[in-house]
Amino acid sequence: MAPKKLAAGNWKMNGVTASLVELDALAARENGCDVLICPPATLITPAVAHAGEIAIGGQDCHANESGAHTGDISAAMLADAGASHVILGHSERRADHGETDAQVAAKAIAAHGAGLVTVICVGETEAERDGGDTLDVIASQLAGSVPDCATAANTVIAYEPVWAIGTGRTPNSEQIAEVHALMRDKLSGRFSDGADFSLLYGGSVKPGNAAEIFAIAHVDGALVGGASLKASDFGPIIDALAQA
């Protein structure tokens, strides 16, 4: 099978109940490709009621099913709340909470066990990009963060260069193409269905640059931050993907 086109929105620590009107607007559209919204955990259950055909996901989960982990949420809890996906290894989790590749892989195993699709994030810092280490960093993160139980059905990979997240800066087409080609090669070499994994690009994706990004080989969609908070911004990105 060919990789699925997926437009994923990460609301991060944004959104209250009133924000669900944006989901209503997205659900009322003819989106033409798969759409995922990952709101704060407090909104997952009500979001499902507003989402229609749109998938709802979490932004993180714990590797354990339960226990003395105050403030954490297990994969089983996300699934029970109505989530079908979960973002793991986002650069903000890696930077702010010190998450390692091994921890991301452990969380992915737990998520798959709970029936969730994982969106596993990889990406280099500005210093790593400037030092010429991008491809080595991405290869290492893929090897360490993606567990052996990953398949094209239960795993999506998102390339998010750390220096492009929320900055308004984006890599050029050649830089994105180089990383996505590497990811496809590494996944195809490791997994029998590696050619079918959906590969998303994330990092300052906007309506104005979406079509150019989606024209790049091995870019099957986007993981969008700020521009996913409003249907008026996210809708044109979804349309650009559907037309790619």
160 is catalytic: yes
Query: Between β-strands 55-58 and 117-122, what pairing exists: parallel, antiparallel or unpaired?
Result: unpaired
CA distance 139 to 183: 7
Active-site entry in 90, 112, 180, 218? 90
CA distance 37 to 97: 23
State the sign of the Cα–Cα–Cα–Cα dihedral 74, 79, 82, 85.
Answer: positive
Active-site entry in 128, 160, 180, 218? 160
The region that residue 15 occupies, defined by phi over 0 for left and psi between -120 and 50 for alpha, beta otherwise, is left
Structure tokens at 135: 């491809």
| Residues assigned a catalytic role | 90, 160
